[in-house]
Chains A and B, each alone.
Chain A
Amino acid sequence: MDRDLVEQAQRGDREAFAILARTRGDTLFGIARRILRDVGLAEDAVQQALVIAWRELPRLRDPDRFDAWLQRMLVHASYAEARRKRAWITSIRSLPVDGPPAPDELASLADRDEVERGFQRLPPEQRAILVLHHYLGVGLNEIGEVLDIPAGTARSRLHYAHRAMRALLEADARPTAAAGGRSS
């Protein structure tokens, strides 16, 4: 059914595209919100991605790959928003991290701000691959499709992103541990 909608939209049917946009909006927003860590920027990224997707849709080669293709538009729109944020915003309005209860390991990091800080210090490209992996839960092939890179490249990028995140968390945790040691 979706394939029919995509093909209709490729032929210029705005109603068909509106259905596709509405059914994908929440997922797109979830991706963008996590990459950008800012609700307003995420909304802008989704809006921008939908407009670009509409414009470029006739060039989509395989309608069955619409979702991965649309997510690629969104990731690129998120990169653009991240660049815009860097240029224009000095104080970042962070998301409240009010997800499911944290397991011990996350709680043991003292507070979520450390995770938030670490994640925001990653470049958008690394944030994107982490979001696709941990939020969407998709495999390397799907990540490669969204990011338009071979699965092997996705694997190595994911590895480096994990390593970078770990390094940031450890760097953040180190002074605290040292300070604690001195006070005891």
Chain B
Amino acid sequence: MFAALYAELHRLARRELARNGAGVTLGVTTLLHEAYLDMSGREHVAFPDRARFMGYASRVMRGIIIDYARRRQAVKRGGHFSITSIETGHGEALADSRELTRVGEALDELTTLEPALAEIVDLKFFCGFSLPEIAAMRGVSERTVQRDWEKARLYLHDVLCLR
């Protein structure tokens, strides 16, 4: 199951990157929706619901993004405008793949404590879903998601900046 999803997301991400090279992009959220549409149409792949799929897929996506950042770092050349990340394209911020890796590790840690909080970070930070979208996906109030997001951020800040 995981392997299939990883392969699927990777395929979509690669395609997206190719397009992104041309400044054309649908972004990670659309990517995940697409992956869901693709995979839910397939035999033997049954997710109980979209929310769980998205939660799961966003974790996979995080891995892909960090891998990608690492690889890209390795081949980076000079120039003002390097290619954008697979994100919807504000340029790229956490250019430093080491920093991304640390966020990933902190998230892994948070997953063992409060998996729901970690998932929000995957969805929002790595995949670009908005808080209202996440709330709708989970069928909870925006207020709840907002609170969880703030908690997750506090935790990550604690791990990343204070330790």
Q: Do A and B bind each other?
A: no
